[in-house]
Amino acid sequence: MPTNSWGDATTILAAHGVTEDTSFYREFTSADEKAVLTVPQRIQDAWLKNDADVFADVFTANGSLLLQDNQLTSQDEIRDYMRAGFSGPLKGAHVYGWPLEVKFLDENVAIAVTEGGIIRAGESEIAPENQIRAVWVVVRNADGDLNLFSHQSSPVKG
């Protein structure tokens, strides 16, 4: 468990212009768990806005995103991929998920596991073929800011 606070979730989200969804945390209610879970909330907000810049800015400069068969290894690659998606096949889509697990690896690295998926434009819920589980590697930098170092998702079948 971290020895220093990871921050206040409400404050972190407000600083990024994200409205906090307190129901998102479910049973992960410690201050540090909630702080880590601001990262998935920021990603959900970027999807809702279809904003590739906001999406990419959640990642570290050398962040990694494995989405379907695409391995992206920098903020620039992530931004370009999401910009193309949001103006093409992902236009109007958003994601929703919920945490299944939060673990602290050391005082500056945590892993969250979530389940959820993509809600395509015109749909009101996650279609079975769009359900995923995701692993989020969240890092806390020297300034105390939280960023996404790595995100990997996998389809949930059956």
pLDDT tens digits, one per residue of 7-17: 999 999 999 99
pLDDT tens figures, 43-92 = 999 999 999 999 999 999 999 999 888 999 999 999 999 999 999 999 99
Rounded Cα–Cα distance for residues 7 and 125 (Å): 32
Q: Is residue 2 part of a domain?
A: no
Which domain covers residue 85, as residue numbers?
Answer: 9-155
Pairing outcome for strands 109-119 and 131-140: antiparallel
Edge-to-edge order in the sheet of strand 94-106:
70-72, 59-67, 146-155, 131-140, 109-119, 94-106
Q: Is residue 3 part of a domain?
A: no
Q: What is the CATH number of the domain that holds 42?
A: 3.10.450.50
Q: Is residue 150 part of a domain?
A: yes
Q: Is residue 4 part of a domain?
A: no
Phi and psi angles of residue 81, each rounded to the nearest 5 degrees, phi first: -65, -45
Per-residue pLDDT at 69: 87
Domain count, the chain: 1
Q: Is residue 128 part of a domain?
A: yes
Q: Is residue 113 part of a domain?
A: yes
Phi and psi angles of residue 92, each rounded to the nearest 5 degrees, phi first: 80, -5
